[in-house]
Amino acid sequence: MATIRVPDPVPPPDQDAERLHKAFKGLGTDDKSVIWILGHRNADQRKKIREAFQQMYKKSLISALQSELSGHYGKAVIRWTYDPPERDARLANRALKSKKQDITKLQVIVEIACASSPHHLLAVRQAYCSLFDCSIEEDIISCVSQPVRKILVALVRSYRYDRQLVESDVANNEAKILHEAIKAKQLDQDDVVRILSTRNVSQLKETFQCYNQNYGSTIEQDIKSCGDSILESILIVVVRCIDSPHKHFAEVIYNSMAGLGTDESSLTRAIITRADIDMKKIKEEYQDVHKESIEDGVSGDTSGNYQDFLMTLLGSKF
Domains, the chain, ordered by start: 13-69 (1.10.220.10), 85-157 (1.10.220.10), 168-243 (1.10.220.10), 246-313 (1.10.220.10)
Cα–Cα dist 172/49, whole Å: 49
Residue 282 contacts residue 10 (beta carbons within 8 Å): no
How far apart, in Å, are the Cα atoms of 308 and each of 34, 73, 178, 318?
11, 9, 45, 11
Cα–Cα dist 193/195, whole Å: 6
Per-residue pLDDT of the chain (318 residues; tens, 9 = 90+): 899 999 999 999 999 999 999 999 988 899 999 999 999 999 999 999 999 999 999 999 999 999 999 999 999 999 999 999 999 999 999 999 998 888 999 999 999 999 999 999 999 999 999 999 999 999 999 999 999 999 999 999 999 998 888 999 999 999 999 999 999 999 999 999 999 999 999 999 999 999 999 999 999 999 999 999 999 999 999 999 999 999 999 999 999 999 888 999 999 999 999 999 999 999 999 999 999 999 999 999 999 999 999 999 999 976
Torsion of CA 50, 51, 55, 57, to 10 degrees: 0
| pLDDT computed for residue 164 by the predictor | 85
Of 13, 35, 7, 14, give the one whose Cα is nearest residue 308. Answer: 35
pTM over 0.75: yes
